[in-house]
C-alpha cells in the first residue's frame, strides 16, 4: 500500500535525507536545501511525498502551482533545473510507478488542478534513466514537448582539446594564449561580485537581469552549495574579461554551465568567452568528469531554436540530446466515464 501526503516544512530534513541517501535518481537540485534558496513567495510549493506501509519515503515529486495557458497547473518544479519523480531503487518498477501516477492524478483532480506538467530528469544529471516513467506517461495520454540540449561526451572527445574545436575557435584560443590571458577558479567574494556585475552588464543589453542575485550566488558558494557550485574567470593584465558559473554533478560526472558573461571590445581578435570554455573543458577532463553540458538552445518550450547559439556550442565538438517535458489537460481525466 502506498500513501500520498503533501510536503510541509517540518519534513525538510527527511526529504533531503531521502534525496541524497536513499533515492536512486535524486540530485542536489531536488533537495529543499536547493529549492529553498528562492525567497518566500516566489513559488507556491505543491510537492508530494509517497510512503510505503511502514511509513518510509519511497518517492517524492518536487512541484509548484503555477498558471500556465490560463490553467491552474501542477508543475514539477519551476525552482529546479528539472523536476521529475525521484524514487527509491526497488520501487522503480511499472507496478509502483503506475500506482504513484494514479495517486497523483486522483489528488490533483480532487483539488481542481486543470493541468499537469512533469519535466523529467536527463541522463547527464541523473544516474537512473527515465524511460519507464516517460513510457507510462505516454501510455496515459500525456503529450510532450522537447528542448534541444548540447553536451560534450569525454569518452569520445579527443585528448587534444583544440583538435575538437572548429578552426575559428582554435584561432580564438591561440590568440588568447599569445596575449597572455589566464584562466583560474574564482574563490573570493569580491571576484564573485565582479562576475555578477559583468553578467548584469551583458543581460542589460537584452532588457533582462540575472536569475540569481549576488547574495544568492554568495550563499551558494559559501553555505548552500559549497561542494557543488564553481566559478571560473579569465583575466588579462588583472582585468576580468569573462567568467562563468557551473554546477558539478559528481554522481553522474557532469559539469553543467549555467552562466557565462564576457566583456571585450568590438572587433577584438580575442574571444575571452571561448578561452573560458576552453579552460572549463580542460578542468572537467583533468578532474575525470564524463560530460560537460552547455544547456538548451531552445525557447518557448522548444518551439524556437536559437541557431547562432547552437552553432557556437557545436563548434566546441558538442553532441545533441533532448530534454523532455510531459503535460496533460486534467479536464480530459474528469470527463472520462
Q: Do 91 and 182 share a structural domain?
A: no
Which of 86, 75, 76 lies closest to 115, judged by CA?
75
Residue 334, pLDDT > 80, answer no
Task: Examine the domain organization and report whether 172 and 88 are in the same domain.
Answer: no
Burial class (CB in 10 A: 0-12, 13-18, 19+), 103: middle
Domain with 111, as residue range(s), is 3-147+324-335
Q: Is residue 311 part of a domain?
A: no
Q: Residue 31 pLDDT more than 70?
A: yes
Query: Does 318 fall in a domain?
Result: no
User: Are residues 135 and 8 both part of a single domain?
Assistant: yes
106 and 175 together in one domain: no
Q: What is the pLDDT of residues 117-143, one digit of tens each?
A: 999 888 888 778 889 999 999 999 999
Examine residue 305 and state whether it is found in any structural domain, yes or no.
no
In a domain, 319, yes or no: no
Let me know: does 76 contact 119? Beta carbons within 8 Å.
yes
With respect to residue 166, please indicate whether it lies within any of the assigned structural domains: yes
Answer yes or no: do 10 and 127 share one domain: yes
Q: Are residues 95 and 203 in the same domain?
A: no
On whether both 130 and 184 belong to a single domain, the answer is no
**pLDDT over threshold 50, residue 337:** no
Question: What's the rounded Cα separation, in Å, for the pair 172 and 271?
Answer: 6
Grid coordinates given for 27: 540530485
What share of the chain in percent tops pLDDT 90? 77
Per-position DSSP letters for 166-197, written without gaps between them: -HHHHHHHHHHHHHT-EEEE--SHHHHHHHHH
Q: What pLDDT is stored for residue 267 in this prediction?
A: 60
Does one domain contain both 124 and 189? no
Q: Is residue 39 in some structural domain?
A: yes
Give 193-252 pLDDT, tens digit per residue.
Answer: 999 999 998 888 878 888 889 999 999 999 999 999 999 999 999 999 999 999 999 888
Q: pTM (2 decimals)?
A: 0.91
Domain count, the chain: 2
> How confident is the model over 62-93, as pLDDT tens digits?
999 988 888 999 998 776 767 789 999 999 99
For residue 303, is it within any domain? no
The verdict on 8 and 141 lying in the same domain is yes
Q: What is the CATH number of the domain that holds 246?
A: 3.40.630.30
pLDDT recorded at residue 265: 66
Amino acid at each position: 500500500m502506498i500513501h500520498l501526503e503533501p510536503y510541509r516544512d517540518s519534513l525538510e530534513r527527511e526529504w533531503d535525507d531521502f534525496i541524497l541517501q536513499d533515492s536512486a535518481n535524486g540530485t542536489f537540485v531536488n533537495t529543499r536545501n536547493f529549492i529553498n534558496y528562492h525567497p518566500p513567495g516566489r513559488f507556491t510549493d505543491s510537492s508530494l511525498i509517497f510512503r510505503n506501509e511502514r511509513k518510509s519515503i519511497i518517492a517524492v515529486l518536487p512541484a509548484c502551482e503555477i498558471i500556465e495557458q490560463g490553467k491552474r497547473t501542477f508543475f514539477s518544479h519551476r525552482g529546479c533545473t528539472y523536476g521529475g519523480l525521484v524514487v527509491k531503487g526497488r520501487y522503480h518498477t511499472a507496478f509502483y510507478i503506475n500506482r504513484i501516477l494514479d495517486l497523483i492524478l486522483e489528488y490533483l483532480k480532487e483539488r481542481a488542478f486543470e493541468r499537469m506538467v512533469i519535466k523529467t530528469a536527463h541522463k547527464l544529471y541523473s544516474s537512473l534513466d527515465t524511460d519507464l516513467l516517460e513510457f507510462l506517461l505516454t501510455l496515459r495520454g500525456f503529450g510532450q514537448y522537447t528542448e534541444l540540449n548540447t553536451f560534450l561526451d569525454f569518452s569520445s572527445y579527443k585528448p587534444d582539446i583544440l583538435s575538437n574545436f572548429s578552426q575559428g575557435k582554435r584561432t580564438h584560443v591561440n590568440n588568447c594564449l599569445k596575449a597572455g590571458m589566464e584562466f583560474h577558479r574564482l574563490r573570493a567574494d569580491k571576484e564573485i561580485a565582479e562576475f555578477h556585475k559583468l553578467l548584469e552588464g551583458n543581460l542589460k543589453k537584452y532588457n533582462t537581469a540575472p536569475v540569481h542575485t549576488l547574495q544568492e550566488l554568495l550563499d551558494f558558494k559559501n553555505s548552500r552549495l559549497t561542494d557543488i557550485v564553481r566559478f571560473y574567470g579569465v583575466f588579462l593584465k588583472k582585468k576580468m574579461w569573462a567568467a562563468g558559473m557551473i554546477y558539478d554533478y559528481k554522481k553522474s560526472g557532469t559539469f553543467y554551465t549555467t552562466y557565462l558573461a564576457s566583456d571585450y571590445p568590438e572587433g577584438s581578435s580575442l574571444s575571452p568567452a571561448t578561452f573560458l570554455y576552453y579552460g572549463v573543458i580542460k578542468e572537467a577532463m583533468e578532474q575525470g568528469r564524463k560530460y560537460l553540458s552547455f544547456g538548451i538552445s531552445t525557447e518557448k518550450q522548444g518551439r524556437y531554436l536559437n541557431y547562432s547559439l547552437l552553432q557556437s556550442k557545436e563548434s566546441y565538438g558538442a553532441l545533441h540530446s533532448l530534454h523532455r517535458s510531459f503535460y496533460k489537460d486534467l479536464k480530459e481525466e474528469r470527463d472520462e466515464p
